[in-house]
């Protein structure tokens, strides 16, 4: 799994004192971009987010540190699924599980296109199971 380490900022919390649910998408985006940059060494980002599913498991608070584990659970022709697991540190307590679908996108044609075949080999090192809630 690819790891991204982040720290919760005060402005990311809500009146209940925990991280606001909308902020988790930003955490996952940061982890996903870091993952894709590290693994694929992309020059530009020919990808779009098609779907995001999140299961909230436990609350996260300011000023906790979090770790986001990122891997790939499905590869199609023009899309793939990325699994994120967000943990509260230092206890490594699971706080969120997520699956997002990413589409390789041809911006000139404005439609999906097959992603480069060499990505399959690069993603294999980060293969993981989807959360039970997303398994068919």
Residues of the chain with pLDDT under 50: none
pLDDT value of position 55: 96
Domain ranges of the chain: 2-130
Reported pTM: 0.92
Q: How many residues does the chain have?
A: 136
Please state, in angstroms and rounded to a whole number, the distance separating the CA atoms of residues 7 and 63: 7
pLDDT value of position 131: 84
CATH superfamily, with its number, for domain 2-130: Hotdog Thioesterase (3.10.129.10)
Convert the pLDDT of each residue in 60-71 to its tens digit: 999 999 999 999
């Amino acid at each position: 799994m690819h790891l991204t380490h982040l720290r919760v900022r005060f402005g990311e919390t809500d009146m209940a004192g925990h991280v606001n649910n909308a902020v988790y998408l930003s955490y996952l985006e940061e982890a996903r971009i870091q993952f894709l940059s590290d693994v694929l060494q992309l020059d530009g980002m020919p990808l779009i987010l098609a779907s995001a599913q999140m299961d909230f498991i436990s609350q996260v608070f300011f000023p906790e540190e979090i770790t986001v584990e990122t891997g790939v659970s499905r590869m199609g022709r023009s899309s793939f699924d990325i699994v994120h697991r967000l943990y509260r540190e230092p206890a490594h307590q699971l706080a969120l599980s997520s699956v997002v679908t990413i589409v390789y996108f041809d911006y000139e044609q404005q439609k999906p296109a097959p992603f480069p075949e060499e990505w399959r080999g690069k993603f294999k090192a980060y293969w993981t199971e989807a959360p039970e809630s997303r398994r068919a």
